[in-house]
Amino acid sequence: MPQYENDALSAGVHPGGLLNREQIRLLLCFLARERDGLLESAQAEELCAAEGLANYFECRAALDELLAGGKLRLAAAGGRAVLRLAEGLGHSVGVLGGDLPRTVCAQALAAADRICLRDQRIRDNHLAVSPLPGGGYHVSFRQGEGDDTLLSVTVFCAGLAHAEAVKHRFLENPEAVYGAILAALE
């Protein structure tokens, strides 16, 4: 057997990651069970690939198999389609989940929490990067729900890379930005 026969399967997978589709399916079920009603399918794919836990294409294929087989389902939650484990599988996933490396489970749960928090912040805080006619960009932040605005700030940035960096920094901790502005004004 050639040494590199599984290169496509292992592409992007960090040492200790999952190279077996059965383990990838188990990880996806484990995540759906542990983060019930929080994790979207795109977020599950992102965390597998971004964390190097599994190959993106293998993760996508495993997710499709689980959805088609009825082991996972998409459920509406707050205007989003989230992954839910099929009824009666929770105990089995709990038992079989012990076969997954603990580090993979811990890393997957931490990544799921980070990704879900990031996406929640994107939904809760309206951000826009707009080019200016004379050059540069405006980064606009609005924190609030519906028509209720708690905070609205627009910042000038000289370049797009700087504007994107400012946007991402705001998303890391919008509450701190809000608190700092209020503290400065009091």
Q: How confident is the model at residue 85 (pLDDT cuts 50, 70, 90)?
A: confident
Mean pLDDT of the chain: 85
Residues 118-129: pLDDT tens digits?
Answer: 888 888 888 999
Query: When comparing pLDDT for 94 and 139, which is higher?
Result: 139
Task: Give the per-residue SS3 of the chain.
Answer: CCCCCCHHHHCCCCCCCCCCHHHHHHHHHHHHHHCCCCCEHHHHHHHHHHCCCCCHHHHHHHHHHHHHCCCEEEEEECCEEEEEECCCCHHHHHHHHHHCCHHHHHHHHHHHHHHHHHHHHHHHEEEEEEECCCCCEEEEEEEEECCEEEEEEEEEECCHHHHHHHHHHHHHCHHHHHHHHHHHHC
Output the pLDDT for position 97.
61
pTM of the model: 0.74
CATH no. of 7-122: 1.10.10
Instruction: Report, as an integer, the average pLDDT of 98-110.
Output: 86
5 has a pLDDT exceeding 60 = no
Domain layout of the chain by residue ranges:
7-122, 132-185
